Structure 1
Amino acid sequence: MQWTDVYVDSCAFALGRREDTDEAVAAGRYEPEYQVAHGYQAVSVADDALAMDLAVTAGRQALSRSRVHPDDVKLLIHSYSTPQGPPHIQPASYIQGELLRSGTAAIEVNQACNGGLAALEMGSAYLGVAPTGSAILLTTGEKHPAEEGDRYRSDPGTIPGDGGTGLILTRRAGVAKLLSTAVMGDGSFSVPDTAISRPRQYATRKEFLDEQRSRILPLLKAMAELQRECARQALVDADVKPVDITRWVFAHAGNFLAGHAFREEMGIQDSATTWEWGRTVGHFGTGDQVAGLTFLLESGSVSIGDRVALFGDGVGFSYGCAILEIAAEPEWPVECDY
Structure 2
Amino acid sequence: MNLYVAGVGTCLPDRQTAEEAIAANRYDAESARVDGVRSACVETERYPAELAAIAGQGALAMASGRDIGTFRAVFHSYVDYQGAHYWQAAPYVALHTVGRQVPSFDVVQECNGAMGALELGRRFVTGPDDAVLVTTGDRFDSPWVSRWYGDQSVLADGGSALVLSGASGFARILSLSTMADNSLEGEARGGEFAGAQQPPVDFDAMRKRFHAKDLPMLEHYGRMAALFSSSLRRVLDEAGITAADLAFAIPVVTTAARAADIADRFLQVPIERTNWEFGRTTGHLGTGDQFAGLHHLITTGKARKGDRILLLGGGTGYTITSAVLEMLEDSEDIA
Alpha-carbon shift at residue 115 of structure 1 (Å) = 1.2
* Residue 184 of structure 1: aligned partner: 179
Paired residues for 1:217-296 under 5 Å? 217-258=218-259, 260=261, 263-296=264-297
Tell me the secondary structure at the aligned position of residue 78 of structure 1: strand
Which residue in the other structure is 2:92 paired with? 94
Query: Structure 1, residues 127-184: CA drift from partner, whole Å, max 9, x if none?
Result: 025xx422111111111032124411344x3111101111111122311111001111
Alignment-mate amino acid for residue 40 of structure 1: V
Which is worse superposed, 220-229 or 21-30? 21-30
Taking the TM superposition and a 5 Å limit, the aligned residue runs for 1:24-173 are 24-67=21-64, 72-128=70-126, 132-155=128-151, 157-173=152-168
Q: Deviations 1:27-81 (Å, cap 9, x if unpaired)? A: 3221111111111011100112111111011001111221268992111111111
Segments of 4+ moved more than 4 angstroms:
68-71, 191-198, 330-334
**Match of residue 202 from structure 1:** none
Q: Distance in 2 between matches of 1:154 and 1:61?
A: 28
* 1:332/1:163 CA distance change after superposition, 3 Å: farther
Deviations 1:262-320 (A, max 9, x none): 63354211111111010000101111001111111111112100000011110011111
1:3-42 superposed matches below 5 A: 3=1, 5-42=2-39
AA at the equivalent of 1:81: V
Tell me how far apart the structure 2 counterparts of residues 195 and 113 of structure 1 sit (CA, whole Å).
Answer: 19
Query: Does structure 1 retain, via aligned residues, the 8 Å contact 2:69–2:129?
Result: no
Give me the CA root mean square deviation: 2.6
SS in 1 for 2:257: coil
Q: Which ranges of structure 2 fall in alignment gaps of 5 or more residues?
A: 195-208
Separation (CA, whole Å) in 1 of partners of 2:316 and 2:61:
34
Contact 1:310 1:322 in 2 (8 A): yes
- Structure 2 SS opposite 1:141: strand
Which amino acid is the alignment partner of residue 307 of structure 1? R
- In the aligned structure 2, how far is the partner of 1:167 from the partner of 1:287? 10
Larger Rg: 1
**Is the Cα contact below 8 Å between 2:139 and 2:157 reproduced in 1?**
yes
Q: Classify 1:69/1:176 alpha carbon distance in 2 versus 1 (closer, same or farther; 3 Å).
A: closer
Number of aligned residue pairs = 319
Q: Aligned in 2, Cα 1:196/1:259: closer, same or farther, shift over 3 Å?
A: farther
Whole-angstrom CA distance in 2 between matches of 1:70 and 1:48 = 33
Provide the rounded CA distance (Å) in 1 between the counterparts of 2:21 and 2:141. 18
Offset at 1:23? 1.1
- Note the alpha carbon deviations across 1:98-149, whole angstroms, 9 max, x for none: 22222211112221111111111221232025xx422111111111032124
Aligned-partner SS, 1:286:
coil
Report deviation, 1:188.
1.5
TM-score, reference length from structure 2: 0.87
Question: How far apart are the structure 1 equivalents of 2:285 and 2:166?
Answer: 28
Give SS of 1:147's match: coil
Which deviates further from its counterpart, 93-102 or 185-194?
185-194
Structure 1 residue identity aligned to 2:309 = V
CA contact (8 A) 1:113 1:312 kept: yes
Distance 1:137 1:144, change over 3 A: same
Secondary structure of the residue aligned to 1:258 is helix
Q: Which amino acid aligns with 1:312?
A: G
Q: Is the 8 A contact 2:68 2:169 kept in 1?
A: no
Q: What is the SS of the residue equivalent to 1:30?
A: coil
Contiguous gaps of at least 5 residues in structure 1: 199-207
Q: Which moved more, 1:51-60 or 1:259-268?
A: 259-268
Contact 1:83/1:145 (<8 A) preserved: no
8 Å CA contact 1:148, 1:154 repeated in 2? no
- Aligned residues: percent identity? 29
Which amino acid letter does the alignment assign opposite residue 58 of structure 2? Q
Residues 189-208 of structure 1 mapped to structure 2, 5 A cutoff = 189-190=184-185, 196=192
Cα 1:40/1:160, change in 2 over 3 Å: same
Q: What secondary structure does 1:144 align onto?
A: coil
Does the 8 A contact of 2:245 with 2:308 survive in 1? yes
Check conservation: 2:69, 2:131, Cα contact below 8 A: no
